[in-house]
Chains A and B, each alone.
Chain A
Amino acid sequence: MSALDDAWDRADRLPDAVLVAGYIVALWLVLAAVAAAVGGQQATNLAAGFVGSVTLLIGAYALLTLALNLQWGYTGLFNIGIAGFMAVGAYTTAILTAPVNPSTAGGVPGFGLPLWVGLPGGMVAAAVVGAVAALPALRLRADYLAIVTVALSEIIRLFVNWRGAQEVTYFGQTFGTGGATGIGFKSPRRVVADLVTGVGQPVVSAAESIGVSAPNVVNIAYGLGLLALVAASFWLLNRLVESPFGRVLKAIREDETVTQSLGKDTRLFKIKAFMIGCALMGLAGALFRGNAGYISPAQFRPTVTFYVFAALIIGGSGSNTGSILGAATFTALLFYLPARLGENLPTFGASSPGNIVDAVSPLGVLNPGPLVAYVAGNVSTLRFVLIGVVLVYIIQNRPVTPMSEPDTAEPASATTTDVPTTSDAVDAPLLEVDGLRKEFGGVTAVDGASFRVAPGSLTGLIGPNGAGKSTTFNCITGIHEPTGGTVRFDGQDVTGLASHTLANRGLVRTFQIARELSEMTVLENVMLAPPGQRGESAARAVLPGLRDQVREAEREVVETAWETLDFFEIAHLAHENAGSLSGGQRKLLEMARVLSTDPEMVLLDEPLAGVNPTLEEKLLDRIDELRRDGLTFLLVEHDMDVIMRHCEHIIVMHQGQVLAEGDADTIQSDERVLEAYLGGDV
């Protein structure tokens, strides 16, 4: 094993592109060797045939796995409607490019446009259908989204199969899907063939001189063309995921709630990623299924979706390089090679019996020949059993990491008292909470709490466990929708607004248990936060002309991030993964991140829990410093000493309501507060 490990180690150090290219060449060599073993006189041509077919498969599946990886691996959108999006792309391309007057009898007319219009048209159509599918389905659980997408893909297939869509005429233009018989259109392979027999004639002649037929040269050329497209997509997608846009995608994958609370409209990012993936799937549908210029509904059954999944899981979701390697492994070694081996397996003179009974019964007289022959004759069936087993084996040994799901409600304590409490008036408060209520089923966690927070203040919110402090925070910051009452921020009603909208208006929060994005570096965590980054647009992230602006903006973001890290004295940890930080460092990072959103007011949920005294002082110093710059803080904290020493205004909550408020002396001398903390009746 050590030799193998060693080889892996060495392979790991190679640049990804070299690794992928080397792997594909190795697969070609394996197939050529098989061809040499069984091909006899025709070995060279057979090898060329094998290589051509497998290159087409690798290219097509690699496009599909890259697309799926963007959707599932990067944003957690579990799409098993791949076949449907392929169909939309392929059929749109077909309808756009089918000849206006089809030469064959029964052919369906189309718009007769060239392929360079038809292919982008197909991609756009697939992306649009993807957006329509994703828009309502985004909030669903991952497995529900899966079922919605697979149902959609079947609806699409049934629709193009429908006789009513076979040929229609609108506004004098006749077109259609061709129904169950399918549709012929401009063959992408034809384009390559014309090139090869035209410009590439010397190559063809050379190939023919070593026994490779011209169609096989075209095959290989088409396959290589697809690989070139894969390389372009790979390059583009890598650019995309390494841009600020990709940074947000990674953050969503880790913790969608946090990403939202930092002011990112996560739904928009998810839909964009989903659409880009669907566009690629549409392109693959046209170039793979429609490579010969003909498609029919039977080519878009859900089975193909599951092959793409198998390929991605073999390669490892979450990595673009892995996606391509998985596609190559799946198509060459599991899909294509077994079938070729099966055709050529030696059967030791036994001819294959027609059914399993005749194959097995000779075993009774110790004659395995018929069974061997039967197995050999059915390898193309058995390879799917193998694919299934490999899939189960991989997922058992390497389960996918569960994706983050947005927070759901957690009930706190109940209360029955209904005495309304109001706070003393503060002049022009920054935050006004009025009669806030939150019920979880029958449990009332917050029961008419009202208070105000003055601008530039450090206000403490305290109360015994279950008093409703965290739920109040969640209602203010848009994580929970309040059952009743209003929240006003900076004079405007912000009740029930989404957390990313609030963050963009300057109201942000930290979490009770620090929620760092652990797979991202400390620096990346902070760089995620600044609002309205130019590179968060997918187009700007990849298009050459616009990328310069992104790079410039990014330089500023990095600079500011370093300053912020310096301010919190964690700059030396910048390149560590956030997951490796200590508890206290995580709290500092969370503060740094939340301040990078350029807020007006920060809600701190137990920022000092689990922080050692030295760090605690550091944190409190920073808060004081930031207050001098005009920031407002609302602080939930259990450490009474800190609250009493640092907060000029303190609000005490009990049983979902505001029990008392005032400065430290007032609170400390309040009988009701003492009783609440000691568990007595109020």
Chain B
Amino acid sequence: MGIAESVSEGRRLAVERPGVGVLAVVLLYLVVDLLVKLSGTTVLAYGIPLVGGSLSTGSLLSMLLDGLLVGLAVGLAGIGLSMTYSILDFANFAHGDTVTAGAFLGWVAASLTATAGADAALSERFLFDAGRQLGAASALLPILVGLVAAAVGTVGVVLLIDRLTYRPMRGADNISLLIASIGVALALRYLIAFVFGTQTSGVASSSVRFQILPGLAVTDNELALLFVSASLMVGVHLLLQRTKLGKAMRAMADNEDLARVTGIPTERVVRFTWILGGALAGVGGYLLVLESGTISFNFGWIRLLLIFAAVIVGGIGSIYGAMAGGVLIGLVDSLALIWLPSGLTRAAAFAVLIVVLLLRPSGIFGGVSTA
């Protein structure tokens, strides 16, 4: 494409979709500003700083790493939300609390494993008030047991919820299902609060720190998150592309009626959607706690909107979109700090969510549904 064509294409875009045009200008400004900031200079116009400031490469890299880590866990949790959104066709507001449930199940299992054989009261082993904090390098086995428990336990939870709540109303419109999920969210969140209390507990802290560059370090827990989420994403990809079930799921996300008449056992696909989505949500929650170190009964609920943002930015129904959207939202959440005061970075992530819904509801990674 020649320059003239690009220019005329750009002009056409600016006229037909002014929102997109404005967005492009804003993004361009941010990129230029970032580069100028990295070079350490400031460009002034009439005494007002136009672009620039100061930002070290090290702090940019560590922001990128932070964003990537949170984004991967959010993306992992988002896969389940994206799948239920496209296959069962409703926005599941209980997904955040599913994430919490997975984290609690996983960390209880990790805590029990870590204290196996120790002379401690059950309440001390089972609950998180003892101040025990695990790291991936120093307590690898408990962390792994917790990971598996988070996946398996959450599957149990979501299957039970589906049986009790959503199955009796299969085929209901998406707003009814959405409201039911609000009920599930409340019940699940406060059941967790009933059992574990409403305090925030520290459960994980890193035991090893690797200095990669000056100003950029990564901990064992962060590496564990990186490794686990990356391998799970590859696993999900293989599952959807290579197995018959994966194809059936993709078909159903595309058109449920058509899938049913071609003989796809929809109820089985629905169950598998919950299993896969639940397991990934549980692991996502478990990893988020591994990264942040603390756990509380409503941390998944608080992050739900962030997960929604990931799913919507990536395109509802697209599993790769959820992963990429997660990373993108994670990066926005952490990189926004370059331009915005710390109190408003989360607001920036939500603003991205709104902008995407308004300008491109099919997500920025194209309108391709499901994988």
- Taking Cβ atoms with an 8 Å cutoff, the residues of A that contact B are 78, 136-137, 140-144, 146-148, 150-152, 154-155, 158-159, 161-164, 306, 309-310, 313, 355-358, 361, 378, 381-382, 384-385, 387-392, 395-396, 399-400, 402-403
Distance of A533 Cα from B14 Cα, bound (Å): 39
Distance of A361 Cα from B190 Cα, bound (Å): 21
Cβ B178 vs Cβ A143 within 8 A = yes
Cβ A396 vs Cβ B165 within 8 A = yes
Cβ A78 vs Cβ B358 within 8 A = no
Cβ A142 vs Cβ B183 within 8 A = no
Residue of B nearest to A374 (CB): B194
Cβ A164 vs Cβ B343 within 8 A = yes
When A140-B361, A144-B361 are in contact, do A158 and B347 touch as well, CB less than 8 Å? Answer: yes
Cβ B305 vs Cβ A150 within 8 A = yes
- The answer to the question of B172 belonging to the interface, with a C-beta cut-off of 8 Å to chain A, is yes
When A140-B357, A143-B174, A395-B180 are in contact, do A154 and B187 touch as well, CB less than 8 Å? Answer: no
Cβ B176 vs Cβ A400 within 8 A = yes
- The answer to the question of B351 belonging to the interface, with a C-beta cut-off of 8 Å to chain A, is yes
Residue of B nearest to A149 (CB): B354
Distance of A358 Cα from B197 Cα, bound (Å): 13
- The answer to the question of B114 belonging to the interface, with a C-beta cut-off of 8 Å to chain A, is no
Chain A residues with Cβ below 8 Å from B184 are 388, 392
Distance of A175 Cα from B42 Cα, bound (Å): 31
Chain A residues with Cβ below 8 Å from B196 are 356
Chain A residues with Cβ below 8 Å from B109 are none
Chain B residues with Cβ below 8 Å from A388 are 182-188, 190
B288 to chain A, nearest CB (A): 18
Given A162-B344, A310-B182, 8 more pairs with CB closer than 8 A: A142-B174, A155-B354, A158-B347, A161-B343, A306-B186, A309-B179, A313-B179, A381-B198
Distance of A294 Cα from B84 Cα, bound (Å): 41
Cβ A385 vs Cβ B354 within 8 A = no
Chain A residues with Cβ below 8 Å from B341 are 162-164
Chain A residues with Cβ below 8 Å from B127 are 355-357
Cβ B173 vs Cβ A382 within 8 A = no
Distance of A148 Cα from B358 Cα, bound (Å): 9
- The answer to the question of B22 belonging to the interface, with a C-beta cut-off of 8 Å to chain A, is no
- The answer to the question of B91 belonging to the interface, with a C-beta cut-off of 8 Å to chain A, is yes
Chain A residues with Cβ below 8 Å from B208 are none
Cβ B180 vs Cβ A385 within 8 A = no
- The answer to the question of B136 belonging to the interface, with a C-beta cut-off of 8 Å to chain A, is no
B287 to chain A, nearest CB (A): 23
Distance of A164 Cα from B342 Cα, bound (Å): 10
When A147-B353, A385-B187 are in contact, do A355 and B169 touch as well, CB less than 8 Å? Answer: no
Cβ A399 vs Cβ B343 within 8 A = no
Which residues, 313 to 353 on B, are CB-close (under 8 Å) to A? Answer: 341, 343-344, 346-347, 350-351, 353
- The answer to the question of B168 belonging to the interface, with a C-beta cut-off of 8 Å to chain A, is yes
B116 to chain A, nearest CB (A): 16
Cβ A146 vs Cβ B186 within 8 A = no
- The answer to the question of B290 belonging to the interface, with a C-beta cut-off of 8 Å to chain A, is no
Query: Contacting A144 at CB < 8 Å: which of B122, B183, B189, B357?
Result: B357
Query: Contacting A147 at CB < 8 Å: which of B91, B165, B173, B175?
Result: B91
Cβ B308 vs Cβ A147 within 8 A = yes
Cβ A385 vs Cβ B191 within 8 A = yes
Chain A residues with Cβ below 8 Å from B164 are 392
Cβ B91 vs Cβ A146 within 8 A = yes
Distance of A158 Cα from B188 Cα, bound (Å): 26
Residue of A nearest to B169 (CB): A396
Distance of A222 Cα from B8 Cα, bound (Å): 64
- The answer to the question of B193 belonging to the interface, with a C-beta cut-off of 8 Å to chain A, is yes
Cβ A142 vs Cβ B175 within 8 A = yes
B270-304 interface mask toward A, CB cutoff 8 Å, 1 = contact, 0 = none?
Answer: 00000000000000000000000000000000000
Q: Is the interface of B mostly helix, strand, loop or mixed?
A: helix
Distance of A158 Cα from B175 Cα, bound (Å): 27
Distance of A22 Cα from B38 Cα, bound (Å): 69
A246 to chain B, nearest CB (A): 22
Cβ A395 vs Cβ B176 within 8 A = yes
When A144-B357, A154-B305 are in contact, do A309 and B346 touch as well, CB less than 8 Å? Answer: no
Distance of A154 Cα from B345 Cα, bound (Å): 12
Chain B residues with Cβ below 8 Å from A403 are 175
- The answer to the question of B211 belonging to the interface, with a C-beta cut-off of 8 Å to chain A, is no
Listed A/B pairs (8) with beta-carbon separation below 8 Å: A144-B361, A151-B305, A151-B353, A310-B186, A387-B187, A388-B186, A391-B179, A391-B180
Query: Contacting B194 at CB < 8 Å: which of A382, A399, A400?
Result: A382
Cβ A399 vs Cβ B169 within 8 A = yes
Cβ B126 vs Cβ A357 within 8 A = yes
B106-142 interface mask toward A, CB cutoff 8 Å, 1 = contact, 0 = none?
Answer: 0000000000000001110011010000000000000
When A162-B343, A163-B343, A356-B195 are in contact, do A400 and B179 touch as well, CB less than 8 Å? Answer: yes
Interface pairs A-B: 8 shortest CB-CB: A388-B187, A391-B183, A388-B186, A357-B123, A392-B183, A384-B190, A162-B343, A402-B173
Cβ B90 vs Cβ A143 within 8 A = yes
Query: Contacting B173 at CB < 8 Å: which of A389, A390, A400?
Result: A400
A71 to chain B, nearest CB (A): 13
Q: How large is the interface on B (under 10, 10 to 19, 20 to 34, 35 or more residues)?
A: 35 or more
When A163-B341, A357-B123 are in contact, do A392 and B174 touch as well, CB less than 8 Å? Answer: no
Residue of B nearest to A402 (CB): B173
Distance of A389 Cα from B217 Cα, bound (Å): 46
Distance of A161 Cα from B358 Cα, bound (Å): 26
Which residues, 46 to 101 on B, are CB-close (under 8 Å) to A? Answer: 90-91
Chain A residues with Cβ below 8 Å from B249 are none
Distance of A313 Cα from B344 Cα, bound (Å): 34
Distance of A192 Cα from B341 Cα, bound (Å): 40
Which residues, 206 to 248 on B, are CB-close (under 8 Å) to A? Answer: none
Cβ A159 vs Cβ B182 within 8 A = no
Cβ B305 vs Cβ A391 within 8 A = no
A6 to chain B, nearest CB (A): 30
Cβ B123 vs Cβ A395 within 8 A = no
Cβ A384 vs Cβ B351 within 8 A = no
Cβ B354 vs Cβ A148 within 8 A = yes
Chain A residues with Cβ below 8 Å from B34 are none
Which residues, 138 to 184 on B, are CB-close (under 8 Å) to A? Answer: 164-165, 168-169, 172-176, 178-180, 182-184
Chain B residues with Cβ below 8 Å from A381 are 190, 193-194, 198
Cβ A78 vs Cβ B187 within 8 A = no
- The answer to the question of B309 belonging to the interface, with a C-beta cut-off of 8 Å to chain A, is yes
Cβ B194 vs Cβ A378 within 8 A = yes
Chain B residues with Cβ below 8 Å from A162 are 341, 343-344
Chain A residues with Cβ below 8 Å from B343 are 158, 161-164
Distance of A400 Cα from B172 Cα, bound (Å): 9
A641 to chain B, nearest CB (A): 37
Residue of B nearest to A147 (CB): B308
Chain A residues with Cβ below 8 Å from B91 are 143, 146-147
Cβ B305 vs Cβ A355 within 8 A = no
- The answer to the question of B103 belonging to the interface, with a C-beta cut-off of 8 Å to chain A, is no
Distance of A473 Cα from B268 Cα, bound (Å): 43
- The answer to the question of B253 belonging to the interface, with a C-beta cut-off of 8 Å to chain A, is no
Distance of A152 Cα from B354 Cα, bound (Å): 8
Distance of A510 Cα from B235 Cα, bound (Å): 54
- The answer to the question of B251 belonging to the interface, with a C-beta cut-off of 8 Å to chain A, is no
Cβ A396 vs Cβ B190 within 8 A = no
Cβ B186 vs Cβ A384 within 8 A = yes
- The answer to the question of B312 belonging to the interface, with a C-beta cut-off of 8 Å to chain A, is yes
Cβ B347 vs Cβ A155 within 8 A = yes
Chain B residues with Cβ below 8 Å from A384 are 186-187, 189-190, 193
When A388-B184, A391-B180, A395-B179 are in contact, do A355 and B123 touch as well, CB less than 8 Å? Answer: yes
Cβ A136 vs Cβ B190 within 8 A = no
A267 to chain B, nearest CB (A): 15
Chain A residues with Cβ below 8 Å from B174 are 142-143
When A146-B91, A389-B187, A392-B183 are in contact, do A158 and B178 touch as well, CB less than 8 Å? Answer: no
Distance of A142 Cα from B89 Cα, bound (Å): 12
Distance of A528 Cα from B347 Cα, bound (Å): 43
Chain A residues with Cβ below 8 Å from B189 are 384
Chain A residues with Cβ below 8 Å from B195 are 356
Cβ A385 vs Cβ B190 within 8 A = yes
